[in-house]
Structure formats: structure tokens, C-alpha cells
Structure 1
Amino acid sequence: MAESAVGGASWRFLVTGSLLPFEMDLSRREEFSGTIRSSRLSELSFIEMACQMHAAHRSVVHVSEVERPELVVSFQRSGTLHLEQDGRRTKISPGQFAVYDSSRPVALVGSDDYRSLCIKFPMAHCRDGADSVREITATSFDGGRGLGPAVWGMLENLGAGVRTGPPRNPGRVAHNVIGLVEQMLHEQLDHREAGEASEVLLNKCLRYIDDHLGDPELSPQQVAAANFISTRYLHVLFQRTDTTVASHIREVRLQRVREDLADLRYHTASVDSIARRWGFTNISHFGQTFKKATGETPAGYRRSMLSGGGLG
């Protein structure tokens, strides 16, 4: 069923009837127009929405009237949606999706050219329960990852198919669809948690490098072994830093040397001793590397940096 609305009052009525009751804030209320196409498969609802810029929210009053909590999964076709729930905020762009819980306050702001496909089903069908769902509300997920394209495509086709005629066993089909959606969410969470874990491991490796810059033997192999990972995986972690492990070690060492050369406390220390302090053993090669990085010799750099302090 497709229904169109012109003006704020009729749009609120349509959204309440097909999705959930919301308070609406329309910046161009009199000019506003939108279309909703909805269908239902047992306890699984499909809601396709296209409209202009709008804001909507469900307050404590709205959620106090909820008899049966429902989960809404919103897939963004065009435009953007800003979603806030459970203390989190996210922006959903085309190709992404997010979820929200009907039994908790939520705020949404949609842009012009807003088009989305939402599915809605009772929270009781979530095998992990409502508490687990609340950990992922207002979080944007990549609809192009893993099961995302298959599930999204299936929902698009199934929603259209239900409008022409329901399947023979709608309850079983709805149950299987909800199971696939849950599996997609689990997969997205597993990927995100793996990404967060790798970020923690990368930071641990960076700290190890900082703590061992003075070791002339410091190398990618040593860093990997100290953190119980393969050298290959260490290089994979460093791909997100836009540099290599060896380059990072060299650049940080050079930075420490520059800091010491510019420090009045070390003005009597030889350049060679400062270089060795930070792991450079081949002094000739160090001098070439330093000049390539700064355009000056180490001694010249020191003079230019300390001249303002009356030493030079």
C-alpha cells in the first residue's frame, strides 16, 4: 500500500500508522511532501519511505505507552539520517543501516531526498534479548559488508513481493528473515570488535617502539615477537598508519634526535652520542638520513635551533 502526504499533519498520521508514533518537526511544513509504502508478513513489517527534510522524536511519553517493544532496522537508500538513542549518535549514509528500539526515546533527522527501507519486528524475536540490542542502537553499519548485500536485496524483493501476494507460510518466512537479519547484525558486530581489537594491538606495538627506540636491534621482527604476533600481521596493522614499521621507527628516532639537538640541557653532548642514544649506530648513514629529512646537517640544525638561546 502506498500513501502520500502533503503537509505536516498528514505526514505524522502516515508515519504513526505504518511505523511508530513520533513527534514531527518539519522546517517547511506547508511545502512538505512524502510517500510511505508499507506491507506486512506475519509479525514482520516493511516500510519504504521517501520524503523531504524532517526531524522526528519519540519521547518518554511515547515509550511509556509501548506494550510490545519492537526493533526497527533502517536501510538508507538516499539522503542521510542522523539517529540518536541510548546516549549514542550516528549518521547513516546511503548504503548503510542502523537499528533503534521502539521502547526507548529516540531522535531522528532526515535530509532532503530522504529514502529508506525499514523493517520492524517484535523484540521478543531477538534471541539475544533486548539488552544485547541496546548495545548497538544508533550505530551505523556497512550494508555492503558480508551478509549485508544479500539480506538487503532479499528485503527489497520480499517487501515488494508481499504487496502482490503473501507466501504460503508467512510466519515461517518471517521467522527465517528475522534470523538472517540477526545473523547480519552479529557479523557486523564481530567485524567491528575485531577492528577495535586490532586498534588496541596497534597502539600496544607503537608504545613498544617508543619504549625501545634506544635499542639498536629494534626491528619489525622484534616488535612482532614482543607482542606475540607474526611480522606479516604487524605489517597489516601498520597499513592503517600510512607508513611502514621500519619507516615509523626511523621517523620517531629522528624526531627524538631533533628534540635533543634543540634542547639546551644537551648542548654539550656530541651529535654522535645523541644519535646513538636513539638507536643510530652507523653515524655516517645517520648524518645522511638526517640531512635528507631536515635539509640540514645535525650540527647545522643544532646551531640554528640554539642560536636564539645565545649558544651557537
Structure 2
Amino acid sequence: MRPGDVTLFDSTVPASVASSDGYRSLCVRLPHQLVGVSRSAMSELTAIRFAPDDGLTPAFGALLATVDRAWDRIPGRARSLAAHNTADLLTTIFLTTLGRRPARPADETDLERMLRYVDRHLADPELSPGVIAAAHYMSLRRAHGIFHDAGLTIAGAILRRRLERCRADLIDVADAEVPVARIGVRWGFRTATQFGRAFRTGFGEPPATYRSRFGAE
């Protein structure tokens, strides 16, 4: 590691750091659900060096340093947006790195098409891996394989996108009067209980609590 480098540690597995005297670092801990990379792909990203002149790494490093300095002066809703934008940029860096592996162009095209399909049909509670595979005239096994090659799962991609849409609506001033349960149903969750459980797992607290902390002030 050199000054300005970025690296990843998976806190679910043991790790050790060997450093010289005077070593300093800025550490940011993010829930795995926000990173957008499967558990199996994490091992390919752990403890590798993202250099400060490589791709989006300098932008990410500058963003982290800025957010760290300004955090106490950022209001609640802006904190949430800053945190999630930081996570999105990190996800982009990770997926770009994973995408350097040899991959068939057809798989990349199919993946993009299926993700666009997911985004267009998030509100449909019937959206499922089987529905997505059928809509693209391929077997369920092939659809799962395409997502797996990108370090993703179909169900995980659907859930993450739904939760992100719900999170954005919960802190949107235009939706301030919309009941929490209705926001969940809006994005494909069948019941308030299902939405609440998924949101708590993804973001660490119930959606109503999240809205009260980060909603428009």
C-alpha cells in the first residue's frame, strides 16, 4: 500500500495488517448489502490495491476524504444521500474490477438487458428469476449463470434495486405524506411485513425509523 491507495477488508473474516511506523488510514465500514457485490466475489476484491491513479479510485478517495471532513456539518437527509452515493461509486469500482475478467460479449449484453428489464418491472410483485429468464427466451439456468458470472444473483439484484427505490422515496419531500407501507407496495413488496423485514436487513433499521432520521427537514 502507498499513500492514496484504497483497499477492501471483509469484516466477516479474520484479517491482519502489517504497517510501518506512522501509518495512518481512513477506515469506512459499509454494510455488505450496500456494496452490490456477492459474497463469493468479495474474495476477489479483498486485500488488493486500488491505486490513486487507476480509474475511478482518485474520485472515490477524494469523496471519502471530503465526506469525512464535512460529516458533522452535513444535515441528516444529505448524510444519507452522501453515504449511498459513496457506496454506489464503490460498487462501480468493484464491478469494473470484476469485469476485467474474460467474459463473453453476449453475456454482458444479456446481463444489461435483464437488468434494464428488472428496473422496468420492479413494481410487479410477480417479478422473479423465472419471469426474467422467460422474457429473454433463455433457460433459468442460463439466466442464473449470466448473473453469477458478474458476481450477482437475480434475486439479490431485484431486492437491492427495490430497496434503493424505497429508500429514495422515504426521504423524498414529495412522498413525505405517503405511508411507509404504501411505498413498499409501490416497489413490489407484497406486504408491509415483508417490506419492513427486508428494509431492516438491508439498512439496519425499520423504514419508519429511517424516514424519521433522514427525511426532509
Q: TM-score, normalised by structure 2?
A: 0.51
The residue correspondences of 1:243-282 to structure 2 (distance < 5 A) are 243-282=152-191
Paired residue type of 1:199: E
Matches within 5 A, 1:101-120: none
> Using the alignment, how far apart are the partners of 1:261 and 1:225 within structure 2?
33
Which structure would you say has the larger RCO, counting Cα contacts within 8 Å and 6 or more residues apart? 2
Structure 1 counterpart of 2:114, one-letter code: C
Q: Which has the higher helix share?
A: 2
2:120 alignment partner in structure 1: 211
TM-fit CA distance, 1:197: 1.4
Give the strand-richer structure, 1 or 2.
1
| Structure 1 residues 182-233: Cα deviation after superposition (integer angstroms, max 9, x where no partner) | xxxxxxxxxx8x8111111110011000000000100000000101111100
1:170 match:
none
Q: Does 1:229 align with 2:105?
A: no
SS of 1:228's equivalent in the other structure is: coil
Q: Which amino acid aligns with 1:292?
A: T
Shift of the alpha carbon at 1:265? Answer: 0.5
Q: Which sections of structure 2, spanning at least 5 residues, go unmatched?
A: 1-101
* Structure-2 separation of matches of 1:207 and 1:296: 29
Structure 2 SS opposite 1:268: coil
The sequence identity of aligned pairs, in percent, is: 41
Cα distance per residue 1:46-77 (max 9 Å; x no partner):
xxxxxxxxxxxxxxxxxxxxxxxxxxxxxxxx
- 1:198: which partner in 2? 107
After superposition, what is the alpha-carbon deviation per residue over 1:124-164, rounded to whole angstroms, capped at 9, x for unaligned?
Answer: xxxxxxxxxxxxxxxxxxxxxxxxxxxxxxxxxxxxxxxxx
Give the letter aligned to residue 115 of structure 2.
L
Structure 1: gaps of 5 or more residues: 1-191
Secondary structure at 1:234's aligned position in 2? helix
Counterpart of 2:168 in structure 1: which amino acid?
E
Aligned counterparts of 1:240 and 1:251: Cα–Cα separation in 2: 18
**SS class of match (1:280):** coil
Q: Which TM-score applies when normalising by structure 1?
A: 0.36
Letter in 2 for 1:250: L
1:296 to 205, 208, 215: 205
Q: Please report how far the alpha carbon of residue 283 of structure 1 lies from its aligned counterpart in structure 2 after TM superposition.
A: 1.6
Q: Matches of 1:304 and 1:218 in 2, distance apart?
A: 31
* 1:237 partner SS: helix
For residues 166-185 of structure 1, the aligned pairs below 5 Å read none
Moved over 2 A (4+): none
Bigger radius of gyration: 1
How many residues get paired? 116
Residue 293 of structure 1 deviates from its aligned partner by 1.1
**How far is 1:282 from its partner?**
2.4
Once the two structures are superposed, the pairs formed by residues 64-75 of structure 1 within 5 Å of their partners are none
One-letter amino acid of the counterpart of residue 303, structure 1: S
Match in the other structure for 2:35: none
CA-based RMSD of the aligned residues comes to 1.4
